């Protein structure tokens, strides 16, 4: 017997809500997008005819809604999640979890008190190139990894009028893209011994960090995480160098562009990406590089996992403690940037 779909309210219909959450919720088996919380109902109805558009309090008051997805500005994540949990709803929070580790811990305490599930939308665990990196590392094909480099290079020289680029709590590139890259690094290698972070405001008039370079120390091995907004010629998205070979992949995962283009989630061609290059080693000599196919991306796995967890049929797609670990490392790294010192965990 099929379970009733989990009636879901999406809170926030800016870029994240419109581009990522709404189409993925609507496509996920086991979920039903019944409500959108937005101050722009006309825009919502153009995209999703017939969906209810309510204010936040009215959505929380509806007993039929089981899951609330928080896709609002970062400083609202924790307060709105706590309100939803107190109203008896399960919660998905767009990354970053909160604006401080203490706030994130308060959310998890509220979830425990309410006996409800709370997790964070770390969707880039399901990027095709990240899944490929994880597969190559786990299989031992690359050997012991000495250097892992993950970067988001973009060329966006002009400021835009949006909250992410304003001097607000939780704004800036580190809490935006850094949350993705830190989560991926922790998934692969666990907690580092030491972290060092360099932040900069490189664009004229910028009031938030629009460049970062973080180094995570794992004994003699290094993980480098970088994002920029002034890079006309992007470097590789991933470089993974090991004793038995290297894997290099250019270009961002395709799913965000597919979502922006309105492509059917999970349909033909969904999540397909260009090949990377694998350079094997024979004894001590690198051999010519060969094409390494990239695994398909599958963002839909997050919300299908969420539906299963709510119905008691599986674990949360992102464990709360893992999301909290990301928040802690974001905070500690920022301390490194502010003090100019490396931070030992």
Tokens of 313: 């049929």
Quote the pLDDT of residue 120. Answer: 98
Please name each of the domains of the chain with its CATH number.
6-121 (3.40.50.720), 126-300+329-344 (3.30.360.10)
**Buried-state track 137-173, b at ≥16 Cβ within 10 A, e below 16:** beeeebeebeebbbbbbbeeeebeeeebbeeeebbbb
Distances (CA, A) of 228 to 150, 197, 341: 12, 14, 22
Quote the pLDDT of residue 166. Answer: 86
For each of the chain's 345 residues, which pLDDT tens digit applies?
468 999 999 999 999 999 999 999 999 999 999 999 999 999 999 999 999 999 999 999 999 999 999 999 999 999 999 999 999 999 999 999 999 999 999 999 999 999 999 999 999 999 999 999 999 999 999 999 999 999 999 999 999 888 788 888 888 999 999 999 999 999 999 999 999 999 999 999 999 999 999 999 999 999 999 999 999 999 999 999 999 999 999 999 999 999 999 999 999 999 999 999 999 999 889 999 999 999 999 999 999 999 999 999 999 999 999 999 999 999 999 999 999 999 999
Distance CA(325)–CA(323), nearest Å, equals: 5
Please tell me the pTM assigned to this model. 0.95
Of 127, 118, 124, 123, the C-alpha closest to 319 is 118
Quote the pLDDT of residue 186. Answer: 98
Quote the pLDDT of residue 2. Answer: 61
Quote the pLDDT of residue 45. Answer: 97
Quote the pLDDT of residue 60. Answer: 98
Q: Which residue has the tokens 């990894």?
A: 145
């Amino acid at each position: 017997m099929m379970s009733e779909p989990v009636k879901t309210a999406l809170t926030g219909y800016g870029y994240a809500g419109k581009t990522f959450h709404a189409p993925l919720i609507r496509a996920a088996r086991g979920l039903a997008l019944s409500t959108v919380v937005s101050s722009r109902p006309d825009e919502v109805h153009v995209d999703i005819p017939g969906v209810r558009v309510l204010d936040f309090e009215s959505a929380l008051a509806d007993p039929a809604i089981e899951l609330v997805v928080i896709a609002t500005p970062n400083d609202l994540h924790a307060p709105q999640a706590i309100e939803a949990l107190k109203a008896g709803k399960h919660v998905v929070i767009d990354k970053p979890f909160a604006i401080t580790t203490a706030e994130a811990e308060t959310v998890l305490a509220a979830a425990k008190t309410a006996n409800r599930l709370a997790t964070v939308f770390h969707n880039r665990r399901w990027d095709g190139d990240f899944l490929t990196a994880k597969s190559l590392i786990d299989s031992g094909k690359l050997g012991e990894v000495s250097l892992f480099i993950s970067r988001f290079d973009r060329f966006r020289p002009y400021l835009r009028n949006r909250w992410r680029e304003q001097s607000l709590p939780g704004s800036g590139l580190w809490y935006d893209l850094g949350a993705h890259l830190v989560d991926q690094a922790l998934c692969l290698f666990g907690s580092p011994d030491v972290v060092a972070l360099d932040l900069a405001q490189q664009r004229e008039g910028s009031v938030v960090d629009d460049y970062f370079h973080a180094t995570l120390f794992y004994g003699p091995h290094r993980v480098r995480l970088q994002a920029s907004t002034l890079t006309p010629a992007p470097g590789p998205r991933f470089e993974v160098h090991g004793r038995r070979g290297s894997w290099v992949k250019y270009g961002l995962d395709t799913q965000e562009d597919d979502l922006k283009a309105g492509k059917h989630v999970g349909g033909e061609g969904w999540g397909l990406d260009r090949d990377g290059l694998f350079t094997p080693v024979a004894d001590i000599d690198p051999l010519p590089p060969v094409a390494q196919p990239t695994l398909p991306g599958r963002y839909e796995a997050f919300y299908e996992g969420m539906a299963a967890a709510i119905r008691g049929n599986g674990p949360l797609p992102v464990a709360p403690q893992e999301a909290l670990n990301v928040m802690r490392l974001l905070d500690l790294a920022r301390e490194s940037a502010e003090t100019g010192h490396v931070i030992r965990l």
